[in-house]
Amino acid sequence: MSDIVSDAPHREVIAQPINEHEWQVCANRAGSIEDTQAVFGYISELGGTYEVHVLHTPETRQYVPTFKEAMDCFGVVT
């Protein structure tokens, strides 16, 4: 499994695979999965839908139909 970088113009984030159906989303500058200061949230694939859990205030959880839309959810985190 390899990292996936978002092409959102306002923030460069990377999705680091946890397993085949879950990703940790963090700043591309993060050195490793243990760098919790750079973690923005998580994406989980749920049978054709993606659950997005954004950790920053306000914490949100939403469901989108594509992985790209899931990654784009992190472009609005400040």
Whether pLDDT at 56 is above 90: no
The DSSP element (H or E) to which 68 belongs, if any, is: helix 67-72
* Alpha carbon distance 64, 74 (integer Å): 13
Boundaries of every domain in the chain = 4-76
**Range of weakest confidence among 17-26, 36-45, 49-58:** 36-45
16, 33 Cβ separation under 8 angstroms: yes
Split at pLDDT 50, 70, 90, the class of 44 is very high
Q: Work out whether the CA dihedral 14, 18, 48, 46 comes out positive or negative.
A: negative
Q: What is the rounded average pLDDT of the residues 40-49?
A: 94
Q: How does pLDDT run across 28-40, given as a tens digit for each residue? A: 764 555 555 578 8
